Amino acid sequence: MSRAGHAFTPHSHDSADKTDAALESSSRGMRVLAVSFAALVVTAVIQAAIVAFSGSVALLGDTLHNFADALTAVPLAIAFSLGRRAATRRFTYGYGRAEDLAGIVIVLIITASAAFAGYEAVKRLITPEDVRALGWVAAAGVVGFLGNEWVARYRIRVGRQIGSAALVADGLHARTDGFTSLAVLLGAGGAALGFPIADPIVGLLITVAICFVLRDAAREIYHRLMDAVDPALLDQAERILTSTPGVRHVGSIRLRWIGHALRAEVDIVVDHNLSLVEAHAVAVDAEHRLIHDLPRLRAATVHADPDGPDGADHHAALVSHR
């Protein structure tokens, strides 16, 4: 009777507590963006001032990337803000997909900055110029590395904690910018040894490094747009369902990301001798276990069918949707 009573009582898993968790994730994302935006803007402004009187094209490329990395906070902030809106009759799953659109914008920003940095490096190779204030250029490279590495660690850590592919992609971009900042030291060192061509060559190497991070970021966003998930999550979901009392077999399991939250649709098989109420209680129990035990799962739809040769004809249509 307790199971039957539970089957007809409201479930809290996709209401206040899950909404609060989603809002908290978005709030954390907004905090990351605000802090990292400020850090990168300060870093880029310092570097830009040194570019102005040094003429270093390698440092110019690094500065452009820091500005670009700061600008990527804008589409992400818009996406996180949209993601906090409630679902509507038109957008029935809410606005979480805005993060994937933001990821596309980030990829485009990375592409544009890489193209501009490469263009400036090639132009300097064709028409070489002396680099001045080499000590300041080297110092700017160190500042760029420290600023980017701190931001990268912050974005990647929180992005993985809240399940935001766009924020992780942005963090990877910042990390590459940090290592390319160190490459500025090579350009300054080469120029100091009497090889002014070292500066544009390092600029080209920075562009190549940016292309690698562009590939990783694009792949991350592509997987999210195509509803790809880590197969380990499916294995974990299957173990959770299999261990649920009353579940005879586990059928199909489908997971997808909507923003930085997961949704699940699963099919389970139950004993055909169970009453409708009892079978529904099994489905509800399976749903509860999934939402509690699967990381970042916000909602689950569990469909239960009876076993036996006539199971498909019975079609219990037991759906628990939260």
Whole-prediction pTM: 0.69
Domain boundaries, the chain: 16-225, 229-321
> 183: helix, coil or strand?
helix
Same fold, 16-225 and 229-321: no
Q: With contact defined as beta carbons under 8 Å apart, do 216 and 103 qualify?
A: no
Identify the CATH class of 229-321: alpha beta
- Going residue by residue through the chain, which has 322 residues, state the pLDDT in tens, using 9 for 90 and above: 333 333 333 333 333 333 334 445 667 777 888 888 888 888 888 888 888 888 777 788 778 777 877 877 788 788 878 877 888 899 888 888 888 888 888 888 888 878 877 887 787 778 777 777 778 888 888 888 888 888 888 888 888 887 777 678 778 777 777 777 777 777 777 777 877 787 778 778 878 877 887 888 888 889 888 989 989 999 999 999 999 999 999 999 999 988 778 899 999 999 989 999 999 999 999 999 999 999 888 889 999 999 875 554 444 444 444 4
- E strand or H helix at 263: strand 261-270
CA 274 to chain centre: 43
Rounded to whole angstroms, how far apart are CA atoms 34 and 74? 10
- pLDDT of 4: 37
**Residue 181 tokens, joined:** 């900042």
- pLDDT of 1: 38
Rounded to 5 degrees, what angle do the CA atoms 105, 106, 110 make?
A: 120
One-letter amino acid for residue 254 of the chain: R
Cα R_g (the chain), whole angstroms: 26
Strand ordering across the sheet containing 247-258 = 247-258, 261-270, 297-306, 318-321
**Residue 211 tokens, joined:** 């292309």
Q: What CATH code would you report for 16-225?
A: 1.20.1510.10
